[in-house]
Amino acid sequence: MEETLNDKNSDKDSRPLRIGIAGLGTVGSALVGMLEENATQIERRHGRKIQVVAVCARSRSRDRGIDISSFQWYDDPVALAGNGDVDLFVELMGGEDGPALAAVKAALAAGRPVVSANKALLASHGVELAQLAEDCGAQIGFEAAVAGGIPVIKTLREGLGAASVTRVYGILNGTCNYILTRMGQEDISFADCLKDAQELGYAEADPTFDIEGFDTAHKLAILTSLCFQCQIAADEVFVEGITAISQEDIKVAAELGYVIKLLGISQRSEQGIEQRVHPTLVRANSAIARVDNVLNAIILETDHVSELMLSGPGAGGSATAASVLADILDIARGQSIPPLGMPTGELADYRRAPMRAHKGGYYIRLDVIDVPGALAAITSRLGENGISLESVIQRPDLNHDVHSQDSDSGNGENSRTLVLITQDIIEASLRKALDQVADDGHTRGAPQVIRIESF
């Protein structure tokens, strides 16, 4: 009986793995092309043929540079997910709800493994989908959902052994990294950099999701769950985008030996887990500062490995499709690992550490009305709240670009830029002091506050 059963399993594993793909955009088309171009090598290396048998997309007639005439066509992704002739369902449509969620649920409920590149879906429903996969004996792979072609999910689930992550941080959005890199290297305004990013295809027509930090937040929430074995808590991420970053900030940061990067940072403390996405000053000679343009980088700090850095293309059709294919091949080999690294029933509840309990250095830019005593009054307020300053820079020569706060108050008074660099302080104390400074009437507009991290 045992020999017969093993023979049956062997026969089953040697059959082609038939996949259905929902979504034939940049990534989906690249995946089809990759499977066709490397079919012989994939079968030889992995002992099993991978065969696309069905597809679903918005338009059947669109020219995608691939031949889909031999594939079964579906207008409804849920119907494709439920097709008994499909062994594995690949979701590349995007969107955290709607057809994407319905189709993934349908596939998992049928015991069919799923591979997805959809970070919004995983950030919002990852625990629910992982539980469904466990209940139905299916698998779900999502390597491509975080940092494109960088194998960080596999590293966290399989590569760290008994090591425990203490902090994870990194550059998780190529659009923002491209904009900040160009601003720093070429003295270009935010608006002009964003326009170039859109023309080059690095930014969407509506770039809000990227430049306001939400894309990074979704990816960070997934990483946090894997790093700290907790529930995914995308709604608990503190988020600031890069839209307030001006050339003033870029130039002063450079003079002080820093560059500005949009980072996602997650760390565990006695108070809970702190997840935050925001522009950050990092030392120009640090490893993370040298990750430029559309590249991504993720740094894992652990008790055993100390610091592990993974860097590479965070987006793009080929890079993302390569991560999708890696998940497909794992499933073809019969590899089975809990989607979130451990059974969902063992995940800890997420406990949020108060953001204003964060302790660190800060860059503060103020537009100060040029009257006697203003600087003394501001530093006095900071001192009253226990804030020690590392440096004070007065810059009457800095021009406000179109992306900075409007300094024209209409009262005819001149102003100058004041930049303060603090020592490590509690954020709540800083916010209280800045509120008092604003009430005193010595400044115009909102202060620019950027956190400083020492990596």
pLDDT tens sequence across 324-344: 999 999 999 888 889 999 999
In angstroms, the CA 309 to CA 422 distance is 28
Give the tokens for residue 368: 């100060």
Kindly state the percentage of the chain with pLDDT values over 90. 74
160 or 291, which is more confident? 291
pLDDT confidence bin for 408, thresholds 50/70/90: very low
User: Residue 412 — pLDDT band, cuts 50, 70, 90?
Assistant: low
**pLDDT of amino acid 275:** 96
Among the ranges given (65-79, 181-195, 277-291, 357-371), the one the predictor scored with the smallest mean pLDDT: 357-371
Confidence of residue 409 (pLDDT cuts 50, 70, 90): very low
Q: What is the dihedral of CA 49, 53, 56, 57, to 10 degrees?
A: 70
The average confidence (pLDDT) of the chain is 90
Question: Which pLDDT score, from 0 to 100, does residue 10 have?
Answer: 44
Which whole number is the average pLDDT over 113-137?
97
Domains of the chain with bracketed CATH = 2-145 (3.40.50.720), 152-313 (3.30.360.10), 356-452 (3.30.70.260)
Contact 256, 283 (CB under 8 A): no
Q: Which residues are catalytic?
A: 219
Rg (CA), the chain: 25
Q: Is residue 318 exposed (0-12), middle (13-18) or buried (19+ Cβ within 10 Å)? A: middle
**Backbone angle region of 229, left / alpha / beta, with phi > 0 → left and psi within -120 to 50 → alpha:** left
Band (pLDDT 50/70/90 cuts) for residue 192 is: very high
How crowded is residue 407: how many other Cβ atoms within 10 Å of its Cβ?
15
Rounded to whole angstroms, the Cα distance separating 419 from 253 reads 10
Q: What is the DSSP string of 379-423?
A: HHHHHHTTPPEEEEEEETTPPP-TTS-----SS---EEEEEEEE-
At residue 406 the predicted structure's pLDDT band, cuts being 50, 70 and 90, is very low
Does 354 score more than 90 pLDDT? Answer: no
Q: What average pLDDT does this structure show over 418-447?
A: 93
Task: Give the position of tokens 């979130």.
Answer: 340
Which region among 8-12, 373-377, 436-440 has the lowest average model confidence (pLDDT)? 8-12
Stretch 407-424: mean pLDDT: 75
